[in-house]
Amino acid sequence: MQDTRYEIDRAQPLKNFKPKHRFFVGIDSDGCAFDTMGIKQRECFCPWLIAYFGLQPVAQAARECKDFADLFSKTRGGNRHKTAKRIISELLPNHPMTKARDFKVPQYPHYFAWVDDPDSLLSNDGLKQAIDEASDPEVKHELEHALAWSERVNWAIGEIVKDMPPFPFVRESLEKIQPLADVIVVSATPCEALAREWEEHDIAKYVEVIAGQEMGKKAQHLEYATKGRYEKNHVLMVGDAQGDMKAAKANDALFYPINPGDEVKSWKRFHDEAFDKFMNGEYAGDYEQKVTAEFDGYLPELPPWEK
């Protein structure tokens, strides 16, 4: 019997999306709509990264690298596999603790090659497909190990990340947007976790589609939902990471930043000022440049130990 698991197009809800309004707003979830970035990275991702990838002798350094890569740098909010590779292959080997202890960080070349392949779907489904297609036992073993880690992280998130409400002014903003613009969630988080969080706090009703990592990358989410459907400067992406801004720019969309550490202030400004400017055709240009320049200052390129 033919296996059709991978023939299902998970992005079909985005491709079938039909606008109801002339304006569109995409909103990221983790760290943007919800204050979940810190607890997910520190309590779910990091302990199991240390456990599965053999980083116990430099656990403190691994935690510092994880905080920097996923919370306080330009790769904030990136795909879990890309940041895992960045930590293990770049940041951790150069950390002072790693050097002082003469610790050789384990490397995973087959997993990293999968991460770097532009054709890879960087999700659990993508890993399962790569495992099925791998003929080399070493490649298969590494990919299975990465999948086990990723699935363990999802389990931990389900066990730990509960009762985390959206940031203040998120609900108020959604209530303001919904009658005037189409809204979808644009996220690199698995769809199951997204749906649970948005439904748990009764805000899923404000969005048309909840798009997670199984539906593609964020830039693809925006492309599938908006291409050829809205006029110029009628599409806005709201996010807290450089990847969100890049996804917007890849689709010639506008970007509004939620500044890490100043999320409540950012959402209040969106509710009180920025969304009105977007709807009135006053957002593109000087205003967008001002808020994105401010945002850039929140996310450094280099970790503190390399400055």
Residue 1's pLDDT is 38
70 found inside a domain: yes
Of the candidates 102, 135, 160, which is a domain's last residue?
A: 160
Residues 123 and 199 grouped into a single domain = no
Nearest alpha carbon to residue 234 among 242, 244, 246, 226: 226
Say if 305 falls within a structural domain. no
Q: Are 243 and 260 found together in one domain? A: yes
Total tally of structural domains belonging to the chain = 2
Residue 146 within a domain: yes
- 217 located within any domain: yes
What pLDDT, on the 0 to 100 scale, is given for residue 2?
A: 42
Domain membership of residue 224 (yes or no) is yes
Question: Which structural domain, as residue segments, surrounds residue 246?
Answer: 11-35+166-296
One domain for residues 145 and 77? yes
My answer on whether 143 and 194 are in the same domain is: no
Other Cβ atoms closer than 10 A to 220: 17
Q: State whether 54 and 148 are in the same domain.
A: yes
Report how far Cα 4 is from the mean position of its chain's Cα atoms: 28
pLDDT in tens, the chain (307 residues): 344 444 678 899 999 999 999 999 999 999 999 999 999 999 999 999 999 999 999 999 999 999 999 999 989 988 899 999 999 999 999 999 999 999 999 999 999 999 999 999 898 999 999 999 999 999 999 999 999 999 999 999 989 988 899 999 999 999 999 999 999 999 988 898 899 999 999 999 999 999 998 899 999 999 999 999 999 999 999 999 999 999 999 999 999 999 998 999 999 999 999 999 999 999 999 999 999 999 999 999 899 998 7
Q: Which of 125, 160, 195 is the last residue of a domain?
A: 160
Task: Dihedral sign for Cα 73, 79, 84, 90, please.
Answer: negative
277: tokens are: 């400017």
Is there a single domain that holds both residue 190 and residue 108?
A: no
What is residue 7's predicted lDDT score, i.e. its pLDDT?
A: 61
Is residue 275, in this structure, part of any structural domain at all?
yes
The reply to whether 27 and 175 lie within a common domain is yes
Residue 12 CB-density burial (10 A; 0-12 exposed, 13-18 middle, 19+ buried): exposed
- For the residues of 136-193, what is the DSSP string, one character each? SHHHHHHHHHHHHHHHHHHHHHHHH--S-PBPTTHHHHHHHHTTTSEEEEE-SS-HHH
Burial class (CB in 10 A: 0-12, 13-18, 19+), 3: exposed
Same domain, yes or no: 134 and 249: no
Residue 173's domain is classified under what CATH number? Answer: 3.40.50.1000
